[in-house]
Structure 1
């Protein structure tokens, strides 16, 4: 396999010690923080939508028959695992949570910290999911949905600032000889 299949938007923001390799596509204003791993090395493709942030210690991978798609304006919290699933737009994946193969998370959801979304789970749009295994606790309020959006937009600004101050690479400035970002 050619591990240098990355498609990174020039306006993405990438920490120098993130690991990104294989069949991975990062949209405009995607921010990948320190220690995050996106491995598109097995089966299908990882796609991350515009304005999404992948925080420290996150693992994004895929299965042989299950690509991983993360929508626009999402926040994937510290230490989460996103594996072979589909995450809609404007979703908060809480710290330390796990979303497994073939799960589908609708738009405008919150996956609570530490939740386990088991394989094949279908989560309706606008839901709060908590627990292990994760269950719908209730519908989100309009304020909570708006807060997801505001938080993701704030992380776009943080990513831009980190690029401007030299702490992250812009998507079009990742060194060709980076040991962890397969350009």
Structure 2
């Protein structure tokens, strides 16, 4: 029986060390592609789309306004008609899946990564990651933050500035820190 790699541990939700050489190299590759995308000629959307398609795991004709940053890229799966405004950051140490017709306002942060509460483990550099799933027809407002392990149901709306720490039901509007249901749609 072989010991799982740090990448395998990361993708399984187990504790892992992001400082391993392989993961460092993969993050560097993603950062280079993000840099190419962010500096690409604004009049060459076809070229920008080609860079995005090579960066993310699934690309179905989505558009992201520069600047965009991610950790690995290959863990990001974009549905049809996905749109993100400027300043999107996705820390994709686990899978981040977007349904179709999702809209993100400027400055949205989506993070699958977390650090242990135990200070000894934290000092050692251990991390964990849990996937995030965002359903169809979801609108996430400006400056919202979506944390690890969250599932956002179809047709949900996340208000600007909300910090989503728990699942959001379908057809629901959430707001606040931490985000709470404010109404049904």
TM-score (norm 1): 0.60
**Root-mean-square deviation (CA), in Å?**
2.6
**Counterpart among 57, 63, 68 of residue 96 in structure 2:** 68
CA contact (8 A) 1:116 1:132 kept: yes
SS class of match (1:79):
coil
CA distance in 1, matches of 2:169, 2:95: 20
Larger Rg: 2
Corresponding position of 2:81 = 51
Change (3 A) 1:30 1:14: farther
Change (3 A) 1:32 1:26: farther
CA distance in 2, matches of 1:14, 1:39: 23
Change (3 A) 1:24 1:125: same
Matches within 5 A, 1:128-139: 128-139=173-184
Instruction: For residue 38 of structure 1, report the CA deviation from its aligned partner.
Output: 3.2
CA distance in 2, matches of 1:49, 1:29: 8
Corresponding position of 1:104 = 151
Instruction: For residue 45 of structure 1, report the CA deviation from its aligned partner.
Output: 1.0
Corresponding position of 1:143 = none
Gaps of 5+ in 2: 1-24, 34-44, 113-131
The structure with the greater share of residues assigned to helix is 2
Matches within 5 A, 1:141-180: none
Instruction: For residue 109 of structure 1, report the CA deviation from its aligned partner.
Output: 0.6
The structure with the greater share of residues assigned to strand is 1
CA distance in 2, matches of 1:37, 1:14: 19
**Counterpart among 122, 126, 129 of residue 167 in structure 2:** 122
CA distance in 1, matches of 2:55, 2:106: 23
Gaps of 5+ in 1: 7-12, 141-183
CA distance in 2, matches of 1:22, 1:40: 11
CA distance in 1, matches of 2:157, 2:46: 24
SS class of match (1:40):
coil
SS class of match (1:136):
strand
SS class of match (2:182):
strand
Instruction: For residue 23 of structure 1, report the CA deviation from its aligned partner.
Output: 6.2
What do the CA deviations read for 1:25-54 (whole angstroms, capped 9, x no partner)? Answer: 34322011111223326xx71111111012
- The number of residues matched between the two structures is 125
CA distance in 2, matches of 1:34, 1:69: 20
